[in-house]
Structure 1
């Protein structure tokens, strides 16, 4: 049946009663047949396969409502293969009959209920007139009862996959596993691809970098649903080097093999054999196929596929397909592990690049850094706070173009040069930034950057901020009673442009118990709203949190203000002055 679209705005010749209680009838046509009078479960579809009507029997059969069926593509919504997967349109005999306007029937087809369970039905489809000049089809459905001796959920022996099905499965595995860099998500996708298409159970054992074994995933197919069995997951005993048992050999990368309960019935030769006895007992698997999962250089683990409900056992003919699957899984897991190692390295680098806050008597200082969602946990946004030779405290925040390792390297150069210039020349912030700008142009590998540099001093109990701004978002000052003010003075051009225009300084006295915020543009910029809106939003939330402890103030503000569609990293520095009595 064909692609979904809006149902035609015409009354069906064969369909339910109209709301007025009389059958729907086309002008000049014979009276319509009331679909509810059909004793079998019945559907009517239009010439594109969309459901026009369903009687009460069909609604009970599919455990769904008329509203949920109406207008839906019958093939996409209902038709499945014997494993519960969507049936390819090229293999759908019902769709072929609809398109050719012929009658067809089958003793067994598989359909999805509204609750996700699989239903075996015999069906008959025959053309019918919906309105004059418009045809569709009537579909009659009868439930196929399984023999009482079969266990619940059990099916008949599955025929071997065709070559096309095998290639499709391998293509889906490659696409599904390589599109994620999360190891756990990759394992879940692998299980969903193989269960129930090939087996009733999927078990993944992984080797850690210390050669320890962890049963990372156990998934069961039960009544149309995949269930993760966390009770069977967890740490495993070490891999025995001489054991001939199938899982031990697979974890050493030796070979794939078949296994069953009898394989592990004898005295266990290792702790892994004990766990395998437990696995076969708990799952009821009567047949299993086990294959190593290999990366480019090492064995990463093993995949076990098991059958408990399906009566047919795995054979040696199934092993080549399993090995193809695990080969693709190994490459995907290798990439995911490499990415995770790189993330750890990047996180360590970022922790070392971003400084610890100094202790300044009377002041509270908190800093936060949030990486860009798609970057490697590092970027060009940075903050700094450090003591100066004359007793003042320097505050700085900046943003080097980019949010990757190259930007992080440029940020480190910029920060280190700034510290050196600020320490050796305790003068106005504008003089330090002017000298830094000249250095950026000649000796640094920084394309362009914004920077705000400030000196914080305390004289006679009053805290004063002297600052200059090189193209950076303005600081925000929040008083204890919730008033806010952006410090927009002393604003100049960003670093790295070659401009020789003099830079300016500004000064402000910070009220007692006030909070000064320095931040990067990732906190306020979004593709979905203007910069002014972002500044307004920041001011409103900061005012509402003015009396929060500084840790809570910082965390809550980031959570509430940072745009959900932000693709940039964020650096944030908050300073709170003491009470006037201090």
Structure 2
């Protein structure tokens, strides 16, 4: 867009809530108008690059053009196959008219002649201007009296539809709608709308591409988080909740499997970083640890040491926290409901032991380096005897640091919630942990692995 076109957008046109442009074309006025127009375009760019959520980007784009370029606006997106998604972001300069706008957009009959200007813009890649809204064009659209009444109250008199074109082609369109006495769009306004659409399409395309990458990461991550076994007299529950806020997906994992000698191995970890690379690295470390741990009845510390050696020897440039725990029964413990929990931590957060009466205990351990740190030295094992109805909860930092809480405060919050859940069935306990601590949008992935030791004389309750 030329600088002169941007300059002509300095103020909304008369009749649209703005002030009439001052008479004359002296240099001061032109300079102010030009600066104002360029500031608007900069605002569009800044607003749309500040989010990687495509729905939020579309909503911001609609809000930015109202009322400067239109009295109300609607942004429609196409899917990967070039078909309308059916989801439309919208904005109106008058909050009182949003109900009517929603009634019209959700209640209108789709696939009718009303779509022809939109389709023309999508197919040609050029703006489509409607200086006058033809009532005959709307007749097939307004299927009910409620929709017709909403359209009348919107009082839409003219419009311009501008395609949203990205590097991959047309990804949608923005409809700019004028109401009442506001005149049809001028050439300068259309030129500005085209530039806004270009910048908006770039932001929307980036958000969509990032969203696809995160979907791949989450799909890959979930495919590797297999259901846990359910050994006799032991219940295992797991949860994985991907990040929503900032879309930090990838890296957290849990694992549980039985070794040939009947012992149960439990693993929880968190790869440094997020996105597809972190999810792929998580899969590599998880598979490596699983293979190393299965064929020998080694202690958790020895398993982590061997994984360190493999990561170093294979030049896997990834850092991760991990905690490996092994549940085993000595011969004298069989039939008593007691068993040994042996664990070793590679920089991971301490598990929480929940006793039947509600008392909680952090299972602390010596602070030791992360996996992949490049130093291969012996690690430390810790052990504790578990009794009937004891529970142990393993978790990643997403649940502790939720809401930008410090680690110590987050662990204290977690243990406080667990104290109040001591009598709750294990599956419900995991659900309520998420509901009470990380309900809604989360800043990071959350993985939980929990066990419940049942009596050896009665069947395990579901």
TM-score w.r.t. the length of structure 2 is 0.78
SS of the aligned residue for 1:286 comes to strand
Other-structure match for 1:537: 413
CA distance in 2, matches of 1:389, 1:187: 54
Question: Aligned pairs, how many?
Answer: 429
Other-structure match for 2:154: 283
Other-structure match for 1:571: 447
Change (3 A) 1:427 1:202: closer
SS of the aligned residue for 2:430 comes to helix
Other-structure match for 1:551: 427
Range with greater deviation from structure 2 (561-570 or 204-213):
561-570
What are the Cα deviations for residues 14-71 of structure 1, in whole angstroms up to 9, with x where unaligned?
xxxxxxxxxxxxxxxxxxxxxxxxxxxxxxxxxxxxxxxxxxxxxxxxxxxxxxxxxx
SS of the aligned residue for 2:93 comes to strand
What are the Cα deviations for residues 60-107 of structure 1, in whole angstroms up to 9, with x where unaligned?
xxxxxxxxxxxxxxxxxxxxx9869xxxxxxxxxxxxxxxxxxxxxxx
Other-structure match for 2:356: 480
CA contact (8 A) 1:253 1:299 kept: no
What are the Cα deviations for residues 169-207 of structure 1, in whole angstroms up to 9, with x where unaligned?
222222222222223322332222222223222132322
Gaps of at least 5 residues in structure 1 are: 1-80, 85-109, 111-152
Matches within 5 A, 1:351-362: 351-362=222-233
Change (3 A) 1:232 1:454: same
CA distance in 2, matches of 1:189, 1:511: 56
Other-structure match for 2:326: 455
> Which of the pair has more CA radius of gyration?
1
Aligned residue among 54, 76, 79 for 1:205: 76
TM-score w.r.t. the length of structure 1 is 0.64
Change (3 A) 1:419 1:403: same
CA distance in 1, matches of 2:259, 2:276: 29
Other-structure match for 2:53: 182
Q: Which has the higher contact order (CA 8 A, sep 6+)?
A: 2
Other-structure match for 1:441: 312
Gaps of at least 5 residues in structure 2 are: 1-9, 23-29
1:518 is the counterpart of 2:400 = no
Change (3 A) 1:174 1:156: closer
CA contact (8 A) 2:300 2:326 kept: yes
Larger helix share, 1 or 2: 2
CA distance in 1, matches of 2:177, 2:143: 17
Aligned residue among 340, 348, 356 for 1:465: 340
Other-structure match for 1:233: 105
Larger strand share, 1 or 2: 1
Matches within 5 A, 1:29-48: none
CA RMSD of aligned residues (A): 4.0
1:303 is the counterpart of 2:174 = yes
Range with greater deviation from structure 2 (554-563 or 478-487):
554-563
CA distance in 1, matches of 2:103, 2:402: 44
1:219 is the counterpart of 2:94 = no
Other-structure match for 2:190: 319
